[in-house]
Amino acid sequence: MKKQKILITGGAGYIGSHVVKMLGEQGHDLLVYDNLSGGNREAVLYGGFVLGDLADAVLLKKTIADFKPQAVMHFAASIIVSESVRDPLKYYRNNTGNALNLIEACVAGDVPHFVFSSTAAVYGIPSRATVDESSSLNPINPYGASKVMVEQMLRDVALARQNFKYVSLRYFNVAGAAKDGSIGQLYKESTHIITRALKAAKGEFPRLQIFGNDYTTPDGTCIRDYIHVDDLAAAHAAALEFLQAKGASNVFNCGYGHGYSVREVVTVAKKVTGVDFPVEEVGRREGDPPTLVANSEKIGKVLGWKPKYDDLEYIVRTAWEWEKKRK
């Protein structure tokens, strides 16, 4: 792939920082734009850094005018489903409104390519065992709805402008950490199951709660498609290459095509850590669909992306190596 100038919003966050690492290792010229509300400056291993908020349209336009990126990758967002149910406007502002600012700034600065961090939450409760990209978008929480609206904006802008193309990547459940232990998940508030299970193993939480055991799934707990963060980073590199080579817009699921129940995740976490941490089964958490598993054929066929780490134990082990080093 030709070296590019890439502006990365949210590059100090969990997924963004892994993409920065991969693209930095490939020699691209990177500039991270992040307000550090959820991210960490030390996680940005390559490129320049602008401490900025996406709500600041003036700084955003100036940053793009000065840097003149060939592509923008947009990670910065609020991501907690249950919080989005309690505080929907935060999600429409941070995810939808700020994306509008960013897309406007890209149009003003003639940025040709845009890669968007979308989510499996756009599908809501799918009617099939695995969802493909043509499945209908029926989000059941404001988080998913806030992202659907951005996908729609991107589609409309790309239709209206010849020289604007985008790829939306719909992430399933991203987990794990860099193999070399340099970066990993570092949220101020951990809500994800694998991180919480590991924190329970460390004794940071007295127990792990399983939210809901009466879902219509084989063991009654929710099923998710867990994808290693480095495989997801590789999907971003493939999306950039596709935009560069084909100059066409597209949407791809990012998952492995099979899922694990919460109970199965707990079993693997206990095995990897060697700690039989306490587990309590409690009521359902708001906004959780019973099953979300990707049909991931399209990304393989069109982008040539192949997973390298499709192994829950590997995912949990890399997360555990990272987590053990945290206080």
> Residue numbers of the site for ligand UFG (CB under 6 A)?
79, 81, 119-121, 143, 173, 191-193, 196, 208-211, 222, 224, 262, 285, 288-289, 292
Phi-psi region of 287 (alpha: psi -120 to 50; beta: other; left: phi over 0): left
In contact, 69 and 6? CB cutoff 8 Å: yes
Q: In terms of Cα–Cα distance, which of 183, 161, 267, 174 is closest to 219?
A: 267
- Measured from the CB atom, the residue of 180 and 280 that comes closer to ligand UFG is 280
Number of alpha carbons in the 13 Å side-chain half-sphere of residue 10: 24
- Smallest separation (angstroms) from ligand UFG to the CB of 150: 13
Helix (H) or strand (E) holding 30: strand 29-34
- Which of 141/249 has CB closer to ligand UFG? 141
Shortest Cβ 287–ligand UFG spacing (Å):
8
The least distance separating ligand UFG from the CB of residue 294, rounded to whole angstroms, comes to 11
Q: Active-site residue 143, yes or no? A: yes
3-state SS, one letter per residue, for 227-289: EEHHHHHHHHHHHHHHHHHHCCCEEEEECCCCCEEHHHHHHHHHHHHCCCCCEEEECCCCCCC
Report whether 14 contacts 185 (CB < 8 A): yes
DSSP summary character for residue 164: -
- Smallest gap from Cβ 196 to ligand UFG, in A, equals 4
Report the largest interatomic distance among the alpha carbons of the chain, rounded to a whole angstrom.
57
Residue (105 or 235) nearer to ligand UFG, CB: 235
List the catalytic residue out of 14, 33, 46, 143: 143
Minimum distance from CB of 112 to ligand UFG (Å)?
27
DSSP state of 93: I
Q: Helices then strands (H, E): number in the chain?
A: 11, 14
Determine the residue type at 1: M
Q: Return the number of the residue (105 or 266) whose C-beta is nearest ligand UFG.
A: 266
> With respect to ligand UFG, which residue has the nearer C-beta, 178 or 254?
254
Active-site positions? 143
